[in-house]
A and B are shown apart, each in its own frame.
Chain A
Amino acid sequence: MRRTVLSLIFIAAIASMIYSCQGADQLKQDIYYTNGRDIYIKNCQNCHGVNGEGLGALTPGLTDSIFLKENKQKIACIIKYGMDSTITINGQQFEDKMPDFNTLANIDLAQLIVYVTNSFGNKQGMYTPEQVAADLKKCSN
């Protein structure tokens, strides 16, 4: 009886350790998400809106999850260096210039990307500063 109880406690302890390890990744993503939200409010929300709804035909929304998924490797470049070309999102053309945010560090960009790609109906999970660094090497402008 005693042995059974002890082994049950042992198994429970191991299980909770494994569970907390998995939780660590989730925790990291949550931290990125929360910090990313602060960066978003400060730099992006004026144009893109509280709910990523955009502004008329001036600023595209961030709710097109397919566009964001297909262009995920370009997001870091677009935020850091701005965008001057016309893009079409959801059948609507947007031709206005997006300003650059070149003071943002890779970690900021990663946190921002985690926030944007996990809000407004997007659910793409974690993004790391290393991935951002790799993306930035391939910027076209």
Chain B
Amino acid sequence: MKSRAYLFYTLLSCFILLFSACQENRKLPVYGQREAITVKNPDGSTSIDTLYQSIPAFRFLNQDSVYIDNATFKDKIYIADFFFTSCSGICPVMHRNMKDIYEKYKDNPKVMFLSHTIDFKYDKPNVLKRYAKKLGVNTSKWQFAYGEKEPVYQLAKDYLVAVFEDSKEKENYVHEGYLILVDQQKHIRGAYDGTNPDQVAQLLKDLPVLLAEDNK
């Protein structure tokens, strides 16, 4: 009887060890193009390092008509997406899901949100402000960015999100519904379909992993 209990506890602790090991090792991938570069070490020797794709510098007006740029997201991890306020297709459900995450991380200053409008004709900062208010967002934690067509559509490519104008479409604009997870180094660490509950749940699981990584 005693040996059986002993066996049981040994097995149990083995399993606990195994599972905790799995958890700790989980690391999010880095998305996008990468290239090998030669770097110079302090001692004069050279070695090869990987240069990952990262989000380039940008400067846009936000919902308060204030310019935001890379510095706004310095030392933060953030979730970015592309949308437009008059969109009745996938945008409402994307932002419904993003709002849930926003509420969950309201008290965590390390997490931010960034929504780029692709409707450069109508979605001026005052329209974005009204939209944010109605969505129930009234902090600078969630930035809504307005910019000219050229820089915004170019930036979407850097986020690996397809956006374009299509006059044959009822609402004139077409875009993918990805929520893009960006780390402190501006690398893309995840892309989740903001309309798919399973993928949004995965994003919620991945966020703590990325937060833990940056704390090291």
Contact = CB atoms under 8 A, between A and B. Distances in A.
Interface of A: 45-47, 49, 55-59, 96-99
A96 B134 CA distance: 10
A46 B134 contact: no
17 contacts: A45-B93, A46-B88, A46-B89, A46-B93, A46-B195, A47-B88, A47-B92, A49-B96, A55-B96, A56-B134, A56-B135, A57-B135, A58-B131, A97-B86, A98-B88, A99-B88, A99-B170
A59 B136 contact: no
Contacts of A46: 88-93, 195
B96 A57 contact: no
Interface string B75-113: 000000000001011111101100100000000000000
B34 interface: no
A55 B135 contact: yes
A99 B133 CA distance: 21
Contact of A59 (B89, B92, B99, B195): B92
A84 B207 CA distance: 39
Question: What is the interface residue range for chain B against chain A?
Answer: 10 to 19
B135 A58 contact: yes
Interface of B: 86, 88-93, 95-96, 99, 131, 133-136, 170, 195
Contacts of B136: 56-57
Contacts of A45: 93
Nearest to A101: B88
Nearest to A57: B134
B70 to A, nearest CB: 29
Contacts of B170: 99
A61 to B, nearest CB: 12
B102 to A, nearest CB: 12
**A-B pairs with lowest CB-CB distance, top 9:** A57-B134, A47-B92, A46-B93, A56-B136, A58-B134, A99-B88, A56-B135, A46-B92, A56-B134
B5 to A, nearest CB: 48
**Residue in A45, A49, A98, A99 whose Cβ sees the most chain B Cβ within 10 Å:** A99
Nearest to B170: A99
A47 B134 CA distance: 13
A89 B181 CA distance: 36
Given A45-B93, A46-B90, A56-B136, 12 more contacts: A46-B88, A46-B89, A46-B91, A47-B93, A55-B95, A55-B96, A56-B134, A57-B133, A57-B136, A58-B92, A58-B131, A99-B88
